[in-house]
Structure 1
């Protein structure tokens, strides 16, 4: 009788854990298996933002697919779905360099939120026509001025600065052909600064190919990353100010020169940092 009671209690605990908010239920697993959804098993040190970074996804979209509420707390061993339920998994995914394999090998095309606003078709202003018998001057056409184009700095009022102090742009900054980020040469141990105000959403070395990495969220749209540091000074969840020292410059494995890899992403996709950073 006692053993039966203990077994029943243990089963009840397991069922309660299965329905906790943010956890993947048995129904999710069955539907995932039926639709062959791609997933990732959380490892120690992961954050939702670091997982989204690995696979070039928007962290908010990943949270929605997994029914996670802010602040997006996850646990080692948790299964994270990398695509929305009910989507076809037959197209190739665009991954970041040196990303680990998922629990399913079939590639996918990551979900990309559509935040593009179509431009309205140009409208030709009407010209008033007067009867011929009247000797009056025709009305001049109305001129419609085009609205100014928004720049990256105007989207969320994010003010940017360079993450390293640079003396000579031509020799210190270059963009690798294999990525959308920039590599900035400096001195070993040189101070690395936050490029804009924001919250540290990842600080660690769990992403292969990035070394000691820091990721900062600046708005719902924009995040920035600082890779190949020698030492990190800011923990995850810490708020930082633009120009605050967050790390010391290090050397990428297999290289000789101290180089910072800096990248900006919008809705999980890399953008050209030179369009956001001030001119040197």
Structure 2
């Protein structure tokens, strides 16, 4: 029955597909048909609202595209290395990758940074201009360009996804097929929870009690990640997020310890995220 749900919704809106995928496994092992029905109804209502909002954004994007275009400009800033900094931490702080840091600063893969060292950080800014070439104030038009790009990415089929660690704590609960949905990473209240890869937030809320405060990010047509038990959500449904960007604060909502339950799903099914994560931890 669960599989048929996935097949039906794949031809519909992505937000609804994600909601059904999570709902199907969140209710595994729960007793009482009425409780399952109530949870499913609440889930469906939240998904419908998200889908409606997404449709409105797409319509607005199409309208904006007719009268505007985007121009990308490059800006270089400098970061002074602090005590305890590593390339990975600096990359997270500046929403970039270690590979980018190495390239911008002409460093080798084995390079180490020292306190007081200055690193170049290169950022790109997209400016929206009207048909006459004049800049348009940042807002709906600029956001629409990013939404269109991410919509294309999330609709693209992919055989894999490259993930970064969503939190820095120890893995206290490993993935066990058929028994757990992901891995549990421990930490302290308020520790940052970060997006494991670029994507679009398909759900951010507390509609599923078992998960507490939950965020679902879709990365492409086949892969999505979920982050549960958060203390505070820093993104909302429809936001575009980038790898390493903080999306929540760690907490213990509907859980016995402070941690984040991190799930990776392929075609709606939970899979072990460990093979997709880098082996080294900073």
TM-score (norm. length: structure 1): 0.47
Q: Which has the greater radius of gyration?
A: 1
Higher strand proportion, which one? 2
